Structure 1
């Protein structure tokens, strides 16, 4: 059985009860047009897997949303390992949607620390931070939020006062990360997903109890943070969770010291003229160029090449965008001709889906002019 709160305060109370053995929670958002559809698809009246505390609907950015069933033990293991990595329990500021896993874990960590989470609501970021009481103070952001706070002197001062800031939900451009750290923000990048109770790899290093490995270049994760499975989908559960390991859809590299680097989703690879191009590699080059704030690289169909490399670029100053020729030359010099975008289009913002995730279908539609 599932309870389905939509208000942040109600979600906090429901999660608190679920961690203590109460009914499992399907957190929803009143602002999500899919909320009614998700409620029906998740069948609240049907039993959950044993021990389930929360069902999190995935973003559905590449297909139909799935319901990920997480136990109180998995949520607690993740929160405990996070606090151990960050230096101790603390109070958390919720700036992310409470119906996504990142928001759920902000609430869970704060509850387990015995300090109610601060709900930002309509407050400014600085005002919300000022209302926090500790003992240590944390928050989680997505890259777009960090970018905006770095441009706000008052927000940046509040950000620098926090003991740690987790950054996830989307790939973080290196210049943004370097700029935040240079400004004094104690920021750690996170990698994970709903199926791993949120971020389980911080700054490339798995949390205590978490293991990472590669199978044909695809990242697999294991540990006490893993979900129990997918709601009402035994076939999907059996395919994704095998012998204690969860097989992601992301390509990666593992260094000798165990540091994990994420190269991007395997199904995002672009095959142009028979050459495979990783969009993340092209994005890394483009976002490092002067005048570039954000980038998304996708494939578009092409009669000659099969797929062509296309880039949507958000300039720092829309009135003075960087030279397209210079951007293309930078990619060619670093990655070679096949990776060089054949189409570059400037935009004021990238379409988003979920907490900070770029809606790649939306980017493709924009680049096609539809």
Structure 2
């Protein structure tokens, strides 16, 4: 089996027939944002179960905006939901801007699915008004910063959690879709079960490491409250040990993004002979500005309420964070710099 590939309209025609008639599993290649990509095998039953549960949660079938690669699970699910609704998706690239594309979405209900980076760029471009006409805007693929959500006043935002192995988003605003089971083990690791799970990876050994007794062990950490609502607190690989200190990289990233003169940033751990690992800040400065010097960044991270031992030991100015086709930050590329 080969991963999904091809031009969006060509893939849509194939997906429409596959949704209607059934067939062999499809293969989706993960983004590989933190390491080597994996080929994920998804059955017809899993993919369509996810899509039907999504539409049920959103309020019914409708037309969809396609703004993500169809080679990834996010774009694939837009095609599947469109096929279930009997409607063609609207491709952003085929229209003169976002507003025109949204206006062209067919059906009684209109939906879009984007990653936070895409939404951030739309906010910066002053295109939030166009998003307000949607019946729902799904945001997934990565955690959406609170300040980004605040900028979407009047937009019905649905924060999704999921991955290729769960046929896309399987938890909406913390609540699992119908047919999805969640549990958190004693270490805080999130496990997902239910009808949306993948059959496995093309690599059987990799499958055995994460899929056991009907449960998929994610790389995410989280909690489940008394109402069954999931809160993702980080990733198991988002914690580095530097000089014997456990450092939560998402918290450092949030602190960096709040510094004056910083347009965007991410904190990553890189190997270090002395410290075991050191925290490096990849910083995109404001237009026309230089990145803040290291001592200013370290002071700012500490002023945000984090221990000074968590502050970056190196600053790497960069014009823009490299992104994978699905919109996630390419951490592997950054670590190679």
The Cα RMSD (Å) is: 2.2
> What runs of 5+ residues in structure 1 fail to find an aligned partner?
25-51
CA separation in 2, counterparts of 1:192 and 1:13? Answer: 25
Counterpart of 2:189 in structure 1 is 218
CA deviation digits over 1:43-86, x for unaligned, max 9? Answer: xxxxxxxxx2x211112234432221112221121112212222
Secondary structure of the corresponding residue to residue 298 of structure 2: helix
The answer to whether the 8 A contact 1:308-1:342 is kept is: yes
**Structure 1: distance between partners of 2:256 and 2:4:** 42
Does the 8 Å contact 1:309/1:339 carry over to 2?
yes
Matched, 1:60 2:32: yes
State how 1:1-370 maps to structure 2 within 5 Å: 5-21=5-21, 23-24=23-24, 52=25, 54-123=26-95, 124-153=97-126, 155-180=127-152, 182=153, 184-215=154-185, 216-231=187-202, 233-319=203-289, 325-333=295-303, 334-366=305-337
More moved, 325-334 vs 242-251 = 325-334
Q: Within 2, Cα distance between the matches of 1:75 and 1:346?
A: 41
Contact 1:272/1:308, CA 8 A, preserved across alignment: yes
CA distance in 1, matches of 2:64, 2:147: 26
Instruction: Give the CA deviation at 1:262.
Output: 2.2
Q: Secondary structure at the match of 1:55?
A: strand
**Alpha-carbon distance change, 87 to 326 in structure 1, aligned in 2, over 3 angstroms:** farther
Indicate if the aligned counterparts of 1:2 and 1:23 stay in contact, CA closer than 8 A. Answer: no
Task: Give the whole-Å Cα distance in 2 for the aligned partners of 1:347 and 1:79.
Answer: 38
Secondary structure of the 1:121 match is helix
CA distance in 1: counterparts of 2:228 and 2:60, whole angstroms? 24
**Distance in 2 separating the partners of 1:291 and 1:84:** 43
1-structure distance, mates of 2:3, 2:28: 12
How many angstroms does 1:213 deviate by?
1.4
**Structure 2 stretches lacking a partner, 5+ long:** none
- 3-state SS in 2 of match to 1:351: coil
Paired with 2:286 and 2:137, the residues of 1 have a C-alpha distance of 24
Return the TM-score normalized by structure 2.
Answer: 0.91
Q: In 2 relative to 1, CA 160–324 (structure 1 residues): closer, same or farther, beyond 3 Å?
A: farther
* Equivalent residue pairs, number: 334
Q: Could you report, residue by residue, the CA deviation over 1:209-249 in whole angstroms, capped at 9, with x for unpaired residues?
A: 21221222211111111111123x33332332211111111
Shift of 1:344: 2.6
Q: Is the Cα contact below 8 Å between 2:4 and 2:28 reproduced in 1?
A: no
Contact 1:174 1:288 in 2 (8 A): no
How far apart in 2 are the matches of 1:322 and 1:171?
25
8 Å Cα contact 1:318/1:348 also seen in 2: no
TM-score by length of structure 1 reads 0.83
